[in-house]
Amino acid sequence: MRILFLDQSGKPGGAELCLIDIAKPYCNHALVGLFADGTFKDLLQQNHIPVEVLATQAIQVSKESTLAQGLKSLVKLAPLITKVVKKAREYDLIYANTQKALVVGAIASFFSRRPLVYHLHDILSKEHFSQTNVRIAVNLANGFASLVIANSQASKTAFVQAGGRKDIVEVVYNGFEPKNYQTDESDINKLQQDLGLEGKFVVGHFSRLAPWKGQHILIDALSKCPPQVTAILVGDALFGEQDYVEQLHQQVAKLGLENRVKFLGFRSDIPQLMTACDLVTHTSTSPEPFGRVIVEAMLCGKPVVAAKAGGAMELVEHGLNGFLVTPGEPQELAQVITTCLQETEITATIANNARTTASKRFNVATINQQIAQLLCNRLSLPA
């Protein structure tokens, strides 16, 4: 089948990395249309996925936008919508991978008479979006989408609770290629040397630097851990969150942790960095839709401590393949970190369990097969 994928971002986030895996099997009969230029386009090209930047200016709508702001932006979208409608007629379906892509894709679906699929990577709740944005997403999905693919049961539940149609939504978890998380020991040793991590108990945090991602929780917890515990923060601010980065640096200085916290910024060698860690933490203060870094750490054979909310609770079984802690509780997080430092045999068993279950449960080949079957069955399209 021929698919026109739509995504709003020029930068690779979790939804974009997921899209790469979904689009790969269709690379000879698909196009990814982006609403912004950037490094995501380069990643798609490296994976031999046809891509085209369709918008000439950024869509000025945020997660907190009001209805008036949304309507004002919609007027400016006319050239983009016209272009997408024309492109869509060359394909069998439109696959909207983000909320802004849903807005454009829904209108294009109506005019091009092509079915619409919406991949829901978010929890549609007040913690993440304005009431206006939630209502727009739900109404567009209900009115135009033939299928909504939710990336977790938590995302599906929030969608339905917000008024979304239960009959059009299916849960399909993100897929991963296990072999991409196999690393060379000599490379890891060199990386540890380069970063000055030898002899340390390294706790990793992998996400963009944003208040709800909770890097400040980890820093607070670190101050309550033994002195050999060191943290690396991998990621950077994306959406005007530079003030938060400054706050994190101030927090580190105030707690006297300058020698125990390393800000590494955006990195492409995530599997290697995760493997160089002794433990990976997930500290989101609001429910996470899925928790991509949790599965990645599992595939790297590392124990994971995750915030007990949202999609993370579907990935981690406490004491079996990871640890769950109360969101926003640094003392509880510090206790688990210290336990992992001291109880090495138990922790190693948990990490091995995690790698085994993640390799089977989230294998990209199985996930892509699930999506292909849904597209064929729900949209009555050829494979």
Apex CA 114: angle with CA 108 and CA 117, to 5°? Answer: 85
pLDDT at 64 over 60: no
pLDDT at 306 over 80: yes
Tell me the average pLDDT across 263-277.
95
Share of the chain above pLDDT 70, in %: 94
Asked if residue 136 lies in contact with residue 103, where contact means CB atoms within 8 angstroms, the answer is: yes
* Dist. CA 188–CA 287, nearest whole Å: 32
Question: Could you check whether 3-175+363-379 and 178-361 share the same CATH topology?
Answer: yes
Tokens 């689009």 sit on residue: 23
pLDDT digits (tens, 9 = 90+) for 18-32: 999 999 999 999 999
Distances (CA, A) of 273 to 225, 252, 282, 305, 367: 21, 21, 15, 17, 26
Predicted pLDDT at 383? 61
Asked if residue 278 lies in contact with residue 271, where contact means CB atoms within 8 angstroms, the answer is: no
* Dist. CA 168–CA 344, nearest whole Å: 46
Apex CA 111: angle with CA 33 and CA 372, to 5°? Answer: 55
Quote the mean pLDDT of the chain.
93
Predicted pLDDT at 105? 97
Share of the chain above pLDDT 90, in %: 87
Predicted pLDDT at 129? 87
Question: What count of Cα atoms within 13 Å lies in the side-chain half-sphere of residue 259?
Answer: 4
SS3 per-residue string spanning the chain: CCEEEEECCCCCCHHHHHHHHHHHHHCCCEEEEECCCCHHHHHHHHCCCCEEECCCCCCCCCCCCCHHHHHHHHHHCHHHHHHHHHHHCCCCEEEECCHHHHHHHHHHHHHHCCCEEEEECCCCCCCCCCHHHHHHHHHHHHHHEEEEEECCHHHHHHHHHCCCCHHHEEECCCCECHHHHCCCHHHHHHHHHHCCCCCCEEEEEECCCCHHHCHHHHHHHHCCCCCCEEEEEECCCCCCCHHHHHHHHHHHHHCCCCCCEEEEECCCCHHHHHHCCCEEEECCCCCCCCCHHHHHHHHCCCCEEEECCCCHHHHCCECCCEEEECCCCHHHHHHHHHHHHHCHHHHHHHHHHHHHHHHHHCEHHHHHHHHHHHHHHHHCCCC
Phi-psi domain of 11 (left: phi exceeds 0; alpha: psi -120 through 50; beta: other): beta
Asked if residue 15 lies in contact with residue 97, where contact means CB atoms within 8 angstroms, the answer is: yes
pLDDT at 367 over 60: yes
Predicted pLDDT at 382? 65
Closest CA to 12 of 264, 271, 236: 236
Predicted pLDDT at 351? 97
pLDDT at 67 over 70: no
Least confident range of 21-35, 226-240, 355-369 = 226-240
Residue 70 banded pLDDT, cuts 50, 70, 90:
low
Residue 378 banded pLDDT, cuts 50, 70, 90:
confident
pLDDT at 17 over 90: yes
pLDDT at 62 over 80: no
- Of the candidate CATH numbers 3.40.50.2000, 3.30.70.270, 1.10.3720.10, 3.30.70.2500, the domain formed by 178-361 belongs to 3.40.50.2000
Fold of domain 3-175+363-379: Rossmann fold (3.40.50)
Backbone angles phi, psi at 296, to 5 degrees: -60, -45
Asked if residue 302 lies in contact with residue 326, where contact means CB atoms within 8 angstroms, the answer is: no
pLDDT digits (tens, 9 = 90+) for 149-191: 999 999 999 999 999 999 999 999 999 999 999 999 999 999 9
Tokens 């005019």 sit on residue: 111
Tell me the average pLDDT across 244-257.
97
pLDDT at 274 over 70: yes
Residue 77 banded pLDDT, cuts 50, 70, 90:
confident
| All residues at 6 or more sequence positions from 182 whose CB lies less than 8 Å from its CB, including other chains | 271
Tell me the average pLDDT across 43-64.
80
Map out the domains of the chain as residue ranges.
Answer: 3-175+363-379, 178-361
Least confident range of 67-76, 127-136, 338-347 = 67-76
